[in-house]
A and B are shown apart, each in its own frame.
Chain A
Amino acid sequence: MKLRVSPPVFKGRLHDARTATSIGRCLALAFAVCFVTGLVSHFMQHPSGWPADGIPSRPTWGYRLTQGLHVASGIAAVPLLSAKLWTVYPRLFAWPPLRSLRHALERLSIAVLVAGAVFELATGLLNTVQWYPWPFSFVPVHYAVAWLVVGALLLHIAVKAPQIRAHWTRRSSGTLALPARDAPDRRSLLAAVGAAVGAVTLTTVGQSFTPLKDFILFAPRHPDRGPQGLPVNRTAAAAGVGRIADEEYRLVVDGPQPYTLTLEELRALPQHEVELPIACVEGWSKSAHWTGVRVADLLERAGARPDARVRVVSLQLRGGYRVSEMGHEHARDPLTLLALRLNGAELDPDHGYPVRLIAPNRPGVLQTKWVGRLEVLS
């Protein structure tokens, strides 16, 4: 018996270049926003080399906006990527499978693009619910595959440029060559994909864009849920600090003129109130009123130079992010506080009682809690 291998036949409509172009350009935009905002976060969390000290402390909402966009564009990409892959799925069965070396390379780059794109959206989404079923560590891999995807995407756009151009508008030559009777059906499909993007955005974006918080159905955080109506990532119990006794607490400021303050002394210093957001890379953020002592005042008293970097050390025993560093822009910003109060009340232990750092345009994990030490770096 002779086995005949033949590719499946697709009779369905809309698996065409005009549909692929219409969806593909929105998907490319979502991926571009996701990539750039991801780079912003990567750089702010892993500053290296000379620009490290140049991270600006303004706008105050910078990190909140970029990371809200990062997660929102990733979520919006879920229906866009699904629809794009649906449109081009029959091309998986192109016959013959490999025509030439060039064709083989192109198909390989598409495989990398599809694998990486699905991988990035899946791992990113699972990270927001803090679910890690894979054997590798999330951050470096999500970061590396992002470069792979954006590279493969640029290559894909370059390879397909003639087809993209020929199907860019309804009046483009390639679009006009397609069956005219598909046009209303295509508009209906694109409207459905647009509605899906709107629906997934509306039901999740309230975690960072708080005016829409009443529409949250699927976001892993709610801006009002948590101690003192503010979400937390690491609790006092998880950090191994519990509730720190007032009389045992000391703040050590180490610099040219080092000194130590008790909690009473810290409370007696001039207090300032600022409104700043806590913004997490996982996409949630919320603004709050913080009251405390200006870091700039504490550094002045320690005789620190105006351009000095500062290391902030937590009393926490467990977990990463025990130590964070600030460039002089953040250290000298009048909005940067060692906060003692949140929305008028003492800090909850989970928010860093008795003292936490709060600074403008700074990743949430670097807003060090349970601060025990400030070190002026040369």
Chain B
Amino acid sequence: MKVTRVLVGAAGAALMGVGLSLLMDVRDPTGVLVWLGGAVVLHDMLIAPLVLLVGLVLVRGRARGPVRGALVVAGALTVVALPALLRPGRTANSSVLPLDYPRNWLIALVAVAAVTALVLAARGLTRRRPPS
């Protein structure tokens, strides 16, 4: 087991070496470093604290499970939709980004809210049902 572990770790380090050597060959390594560092800074200093804050404020009490579920699903859908929602400029042709993405985003949020409301209502009903 120990040998496997060391081998996997060494293989990982070797693959990182491959990645680094490939990065040495790209034309603008500084730009890549800025974007890599930017990814960590943006996540660790801004996105993660904001998510934790939202969780602290909204995810509490008896409804915490469904509310958290709604936030997680809506958040994931929003992140995946962001490139289509925010891309500036004209697209290469009309088959790129052919849909009404702001409308679709609203549809998705309404669907998430509706499902969450149904789950909460169903839970409320089962809770209130008198013991038989």
Contacts and interface: CB of A to CB of B under 8 A. Distances in A.
B97 A220 contact: yes
Interface in A145-179: 145-159, 161
Interface string B41-64: 011100010011001100000001
B131 interface: no
Interface string A236-279: 00100000000000000000000000000000000000000000
Given A115-B39, A144-B22, A151-B18, A128 B83 contact: yes
Nearest to B107: A217
A189 B68 CA distance: 8
B130 interface: no
A224 to B, nearest CB: 9
A154 B11 contact: yes
Contacts of A203: 77, 80, 104, 108
Given A114-B43, A115-B36, A150-B15, A12 B79 contact: no
A98 interface: no
A131 B87 contact: yes
Interface stretch (A51-59, A133-141, A353-361, A365-373): A133-141
B92 to A, nearest CB: 6
Given A82-B79, A89-B48, A238-B93, A146 B19 contact: yes
Q: Chain B interface: which size bin? A: 35 or more
Interface in A167-195: 185, 188-189, 191-193, 195
A154 B68 contact: no
Contacts of A216: 99
A136 B56 contact: no
Given A129-B87, A134-B35, A193-B72, A151 B16 contact: yes
Given A135-B31, A140-B22, A156 B84 contact: no
A16 to B, nearest CB: 15
Nearest to A137: B27
A126 B97 CA distance: 12
Given A151-B17, A161-B5, A221-B98, A83 B72 contact: yes
Contact of A154 (B9, B26, B51, B104): B9
Interface in B94-120: 94-99, 101, 104-105, 107-108, 112
A297 B87 CA distance: 45
B69 A188 contact: yes
Nearest to A80: B76
B73 interface: yes
Contacts of A188: 65, 68-69
Interface of B is mostly: helix
B96 to A, nearest CB: 6
Q: Which of A195, A197, A218, A238 has the most CB of B within 10 A?
A: A218
Nearest to A193: B72
A111 interface: yes
Q: Which of B20, B31, B75, B93 has the most CB of A within 10 A?
A: B93
Contact of B6 (A123, A145, A158): A158
A232 B95 contact: yes
Contacts of B16: 109, 112, 147-148, 151-152, 155
Contacts of A143: 22
B72 A195 contact: yes
B121 interface: no
Contacts of A232: 93, 95
A197 B80 CA distance: 11
B91 interface: yes
22 contacts: A109-B16, A115-B37, A115-B40, A118-B42, A122-B39, A130-B87, A131-B87, A135-B28, A144-B23, A144-B25, A145-B32, A150-B12, A151-B13, A151-B19, A161-B5, A188-B68, A203-B77, A217-B101, A218-B81, A218-B105, A221-B95, A233-B92
Given A75-B80, A189-B68, A218-B101, 8 more contacts: A78-B76, A79-B72, A140-B25, A157-B8, A158-B9, A200-B76, A203-B108, A226-B93
Interface of A: 12, 75, 78-79, 82-83, 85-86, 89, 92, 109, 111-112, 114-116, 118-119, 122-123, 125-126, 128-131, 134-137, 140-141, 143-159, 161, 185, 188-189, 191-193, 195-197, 199-200, 203-204, 216-222, 225-227, 231-235, 238, 350
